[in-house]
Amino acid sequence: MPLQLLRRPRRNRHTASIRALVQETKFHRENFVQPLFFHAGEGSPEPIDAMPGVLRHTLSSLLEECRTLVDLGMPAVALFPCIEPSEKNPEGTHATDSSNILYRAIEGIKKVSANLMIIADVALDPYTSHGHDGLLTEKGEVDNDSTIEALIRLALLEAEAGADLLAPSDMMDGRIRAIRHALDRASFEDRGIMAYSAKYASAYYTPFREALQSRPGAIPLDKKSYQMDPANTREALLEAKLDEEEGADILLIKPAGLYLDVISSIRKMTLLPLAAYQVSGEYAQICAAARAGWLDYQAARDESLIAIKRAGASIILSYFSAEVLKELNQQKLCSS
C-alpha cells in the first residue's frame, strides 16, 4: 500500500519536461566568454597538446575564429598573446611596443565585429623572460609599485587599440584604482575593468602556461608572493572588497570549479557582476578523463559549468564556451 505522503519531491523529477520546467539554473549564451591564444607567426594555427581542441592562432586564423564566434552569438572573447622568446626581457618592455601582436589583434577583431566584446589581459607574464606577472627587484622579488606603472601603460594602449574590458590578472595591490584613474584621465571613462580579484596560486594553470609558452624552465614558477593561498577564503573577500572600492566593474575568481565556495561567498557580499575562469587544468582534466573512457564528456562538461553558475557567477570564461553555444543554438532551433 502506498505511503500517505503529502510531499513527494520526485514528482518534479519524473519526466524530462517537468525537470526542464523547474530547473533553477540555466545556461544562456550571454553567460559565456571564449579565451583565445594567438601569436605573430604565419601558417596554420598550432594545436596545444595539453588542451585538446584549443589552438594557438595566427592573426589571420584568430580573425576567422572571431567571425565564427560572432555567428554563434558569442558575446565576448578574452585575448592572450603568445610572445616570441626573442621579444621577451626581464622588464617585459614588448608589452608596450607598438609592434605587439596584441594591438593588431584587438584592432582586427573590431573590424570583424564592433559588437564582439574584447577582454584584454593586463599582466606582464607573456612578456617577461622570467615568466612572472611583474617586474623584479634586485633580490628577485616582484615589485608591486613599479609593476603597477607598467600595467598602467599596457592598459592604456589596450584601451586605445579598442579593448572594451581591461582585465588586470596580476594581483598587485592597488592596481585597480591606479588603472581606473589612468583610464579616466585619458578619456577612457567608458572602458570597464574586470578585476581578477581572487586569483589563487593554483597547480591548474600549467596547460595555460604551455599555451602562452611563458614557462622559462621545467620548474614551475613560484607565484605565491602575489597570487592567493588556496587555503584562504576570507582573504578573497578582502581582495574583492578592495577591488570594488577601487573602481572595478566586474569581479573575477580564478580557478572556478575548485573555488565554488569562494564564488558563493563573494556573490553574497557584492552587487557587482561576478565572473569565474574555468582554467586550463580544469578543462584538461575533463578532456583527459573522457578520452580514457572514465567520464561522459558532455555530461561532465555541463555539470562543471552549471556548478559555476549555480555558485553565483553570471560570466564564465571557459575553453568549452564555443561548443556549448553551438549546442544551445541547436536546441533553440529544435524547439522553435
* 207-223 confidence digits (pLDDT tens): 898 888 766 655 678 99
> pLDDT tens digits for 123-173?
999 999 999 999 999 999 999 999 999 999 999 999 999 999 999 999 999
pLDDT tens-digit profile of 262-320? 999 999 999 999 999 999 999 999 999 999 999 999 999 999 999 999 999 999 999 99
Does residue 15 have a pLDDT over 90?
Answer: yes
The C-alpha atoms of residue 76 and residue 36 are separated, in whole angstroms, by: 11
Residues 6+ away with beta carbon under 8 Å from 81: 37, 38, 39, 100, 101, 102, 105, 126, 212
Detail the DSSP E strand segments found in the chain: 32-39, 46-47, 55-57, 76-82, 117-122, 165-168, 192-199, 250-254, 274-277, 315-317
The structure's pTM equals 0.95
Q: Would you give the distance in Å from CA 21 to the centre of its chain?
A: 31
Is residue 190 pLDDT above 70, yes or no?
yes
Query: How many Å from the N-terminal Cα to the C-terminal Cα in the chain?
Result: 43
The C-alpha torsion from 132 through 133 and 137 to 141, rounded to 10°, is -70
Structural domains of the chain, ranges and CATH numbers in brackets: 27-335 (3.20.20.70)
Q: What is the pLDDT of residue 209?
A: 86
Residue 179 has pLDDT above 80, yes or no: yes
Q: What integer pLDDT is reported at residue 61 of this predicted model?
A: 97
**Cα(314)–Cα(260) distance, integer angstroms:** 13
The residues assigned a catalytic role are 199, 254
Mean pLDDT of 22-31: 92
Confidence band for 331, pLDDT divided at 50, 70 and 90: confident
| DSSP type of residue 8 | -
Question: Which band of pLDDT confidence, cut at 50, 70 and 90, is reported for residue 195?
Answer: very high
pLDDT at 184: 98
Q: How much is the pLDDT for 217?
A: 57
> pLDDT at position 210, please?
85
